[in-house]
Structure 1
């Protein structure tokens, strides 16, 4: 770590919320966090992210942060499956498409004729706009003048980096996030950018930990921040992975939770990935391939809870086991290891507390399934909101038969993004470990039998 970089302001653009966190690298913790909900505008020309509202929140929050704290550097982390078309004057050549827009399905047949195979990209065919290449193809098809208006295409972290510095790039971890655009085995573009007519317009690929540029003079003056460096930026699940790559010996697995639950295996058992079960090859901050699997766990959680905040009690947990209350997949049927299935309860939970417990079990069992598909081995490290869910942690340890270690960070991605400015592992307190419980392991076996049936 540079002697000058002690605190990093991290812009974290999730699917559900936009966050600004200040990370103290010396202590390895966040010292300030602000969040705001994201909004998707329905169009025209397609559902898109409200970049104006996101920037207004970030700009105001950055000014408040700079008033109260020293800022030595800025890093950006975002969700995947997102990119921006930039015009020559730096404005958006088109709105930034929401990856849940179903429009790309209408042009899917044409896209599939140019889409590279899984063996080339490690990227499974996904619905909606979850393959970034499908988004780009649909946008170029729906707006015939877009290609001519576009000077650069940048991945999502680098859109914000461009607004901070004026420099363009794509980062390797975002390109390796089921985009169809990258060949992770060879570390180069796939055949798709050329097929889309974008070979000369894709911004250059760079490592997330390189410096993209310096904060622009206009923003320095507006926010009261000095000429600080801005990192290239990183995909959020890979930000969660980075502290563990720096500080832990393989094998281990990282489960990054949020709107998506992303499971990543480091040094695991050799397996053949099955793209029909939402497995894929991610690319980590070093540019190396990482077997991964995922499902929309945070969205499933919110759909089942329907606004309830009842935490569940030990008596609720006992009742769930005694009555065999189980939720079977899938709550969100468009993705994940059981795509195409409709969820059902084996027995109806009695009250919100039992629902909370059984839902925590379900999310853990889905996570366990993902970990098995990618050959994960060793301890399981949980980042993000589910790291505070005791029912999730207990069932995950029991279903996998391995120790589970929850993160204590308030935002699971912020520390990893800040570590783009540090070559060292963070200093952390001793791990709190959740270990397998035989009663829950038996419950997991019954769940798996029900799913197989």
Structure 2
């Protein structure tokens, strides 16, 4: 079965054709995800994205064809639907609210023991977005007929059917009880029980593409659309039927999200960006995260190569990049980023090496916080960084498997069209290689941890 996947990441937006049975991407169209600054607050260019999707699906259908559409999107997103479209623009979660609004939200949000959702900056808690919109735009909020989570907003654009899915609700929204699989007390505090769209499983059939959209794409027949899934959970889905617990999946992109399947919910630390996510089967999964892709880009600016000379100098001289490059999140949210032992400066290759090692050791800290055990599967851009995967394997003492498809989220989303089963007879990926890091790397890890924990 060929599935067209609409993949809405925070940094980039993609339309992908996936062979779902073979778990293989056939074709990809991509564009940057822009944030618009007109209107009442920074918001996503949803009309521009949808125009891109329709044109891409038209081209992909003409060349390859597809049998179904599935959707995956970043977390911390939702939409307020009115009678004729959006009641308010789709808010950018990085926008920061006035202090008095944040304080008022803190008064009503549930505790971590209820939601396993830490308090995050700006609108990274979807509940905080809804509170902000209700507080400053009460009339528009009141006129909203339905609240949908972000993957399902795109499903609504395709089918006209409003829904929410469990993985998006379970993604640090403050709106969900992961252990119980039910809404949190925040629903009543915000007074939105009557506005929430029906909750569906990601693999549920949402509906068929409307006649208008079908005509724009050039579809010769009705095409089903599946409900959709939070992007990091899409990355987790292909591995659920391939490994026995315990194991961990590291989903990399703008965010690096760690899923500790078989890990420990009871020892999660709300102050260090750990949380429970909800997988495609509705189960709570201990998780941790940091903004690793964004940090790597900020540090390297897309330059540099991990040459043997650069690796040797960085490790042997103990050149460290300490947390947190993006402050306020991750396992060291309050730590002030520094560059240690680099008085003579760093060339681009050395920055690339130090950034790769920083990312690996931040990932190890997240694995430790979730009490993860067993093999570690890395997917997304960092899976193609062989220095990162080798460093992660040596730092943790565990097998690290790289899955190097262009985007694991798209394959995971495509599997929704095959139904809730995730079983597979074969495993993808290859083990990390061991030939680049010098013997001093273990001492390097110890020094990095000392500086990280010293804040």
Considering the TM-score relative to the shorter chain, is it more than 0.5?
Answer: yes
* 1:46-445 alignment, distance < 5 Å: 46-89=41-84, 91-103=85-97, 105-225=99-219, 226-268=221-263, 271-308=266-303, 310-348=304-342, 350-422=346-418, 423-425=421-423, 431-434=429-432, 439-445=440-446
Between the aligned partners of 2:289 and 2:256, the Cα distance in structure 1 is 5
Partner of 1:3: none
Q: Is the 8 A contact 1:397 1:434 kept in 2?
A: yes
Q: Secondary structure at the match of 1:135?
A: helix
**Which shows bigger deviation, 438-447 or 354-363?**
438-447
1:446 aligned onto 2:441: no
Displacement after TM superposition at 1:87 (Å): 0.3
1:157 to 1:105, Cα distance in 2 relative to 1, 3 A? farther
Q: Partners in 1 of 2:265 and 2:414 — Cα distance?
A: 31
Match runs of 1:4-43 below 5 Å: 6-43=1-38
Extract unaligned runs of 5+ from structure 1: 1-5
Q: 3-state DSSP class of the match of 1:340?
A: coil
Contact 1:26 1:427 in 2 (8 A): no
Provide the C-alpha distance between the structure 2 equivalents of 1:115 and 1:129, rounded to a whole number of angstroms: 13
Assess, with a 3 A threshold, how the Cα gap between structure 1 residues 147 and 271 changes in structure 2: closer, same or farther. Answer: closer
Cα displacement (A) at 1:428: 5.2
Contact map agreement 2:324 2:335 (CA 8 A) in 1: yes
Q: Is the 8 A contact 1:271 1:373 kept in 2?
A: no
Q: Note the aligned Cα RMSD (angstroms).
A: 1.5
Say if 1:23 and 1:418, in contact at 8 Å, map to a contact too: yes
Q: Is the 8 A contact 2:265 2:276 kept in 1?
A: no
Pairwise CA distance, 1:148: 2.4
Change (3 A) 1:299 1:166: same
User: Counterparts of 1:431 and 1:361 in 2: how far apart (Å)?
Assistant: 21
Contact 1:27 1:426 (C-alpha < 8 Å) held by counterparts: no
Superposed structure 1 runs of 4+ greater than 6 Å apart: none
**Contact 1:104–1:138 (8 Å) recurs in 2:** no
Give the Cα separation in 2 of the matches to 1:104 and 1:278. Answer: 22
Deviation at 1:316, TM superposition (A): 1.1
The superposition leaves residues 234-256 of structure 1 with CA deviations (integer Å, 9 ceiling, x where unpaired) of 00000000000122111110000
Given the superposition, is the C-alpha separation of residues 184 and 130 from structure 1 closer, same or farther in structure 2, using an over 3 Å criterion? same
In structure 2, the gaps of 5 or more residues are none
Give the C-alpha shift of residue 435 in structure 1: 6.0
TM-score (norm 2): 0.95
Give yes or no for contact 1:269–1:377 (8 Å, CA) kept in 2.
no
Deviation at 1:449, TM superposition (A): 2.0
Which stretch of structure 1 is more off in the superposition, 289-298 or 344-353?
344-353
Contact 2:403 2:428 in 1 (8 A): no
What is the number of residues matched between the two proteins? 446
Aligned-pair distance for 1:342? 1.7
Q: TM-score, normalised by structure 1?
A: 0.95
Q: 1:331 to 1:287 in 2, by over 3 A?
A: same
- Give me the whole-angstrom Cα distance separating, in 1, the residues matched to 2:236 and 2:379: 9
Q: Within 2, Cα distance between the matches of 1:430 and 1:195?
A: 45
